[in-house]
Amino acid sequence: MIKIAIIEDEQPICDTYKLLLEQNFPDIEIVGEANTVPSAVSLIKNTMPHIVLMDIELEDGNSFHVLQKVRPINFKVIFLTAYDNFAIKAIKFNALDYILKPVNEFEFNSAIQNAIDSVSLYFDENEQFNNLMDNYMGTQKSGKIVLRTTDSMFIIKICNISHCKSNNSYTTFVMDDKSE
């Protein structure tokens, strides 16, 4: 289940985000909300959310202070703010989206869906890696792995893989018979 944390210092706005999430994304879990820098840091460290919705200006600082204290950032960040002058700084923190208040429901839902899709993609890739390692270590019985190319899928026996070559964001599997 995908976990979302909300960092917002205005309770009515926070309640609106929660309502939109509950109505449009029933399969996510809201792990908590925070309205100060220390409570946001604590929330993120204790719940390890996949997605964090962040207002920039908080009661006692700003969300960039939070992000500096929780590095490395292992979650997707969506900024929801009244300030348009922090967009460049948000990009430097790898923000997935930057939405100006008042938040449009369509834009909010689109940003959340993009975040869910990117988190799900990570889960799929991580699961494939874990399956490969389980097969390699002999903890799974099948001894096979599914490999995808842009237009095909192959079921390969792990024992037939000679080695792998990394090429930027791709991995080439070289088989015992030297085919790739």
Alpha helices by DSSP H, listed for the chain, are 11-24, 37-47, 63-69, 87-92, 105-137
| pLDDT tier at 173, thresholds 50, 70, 90 | confident
pLDDT in tens, 147-161: 777 677 677 777 788
Please check whether residue 53 is in contact with residue 78, taking contact to mean a CB–CB distance below 8 angstroms: yes
pLDDT, tens digit, 9 for 90 and up, residues 73-121: 889 999 999 988 888 888 888 888 999 999 999 999 999 999 988 876 5
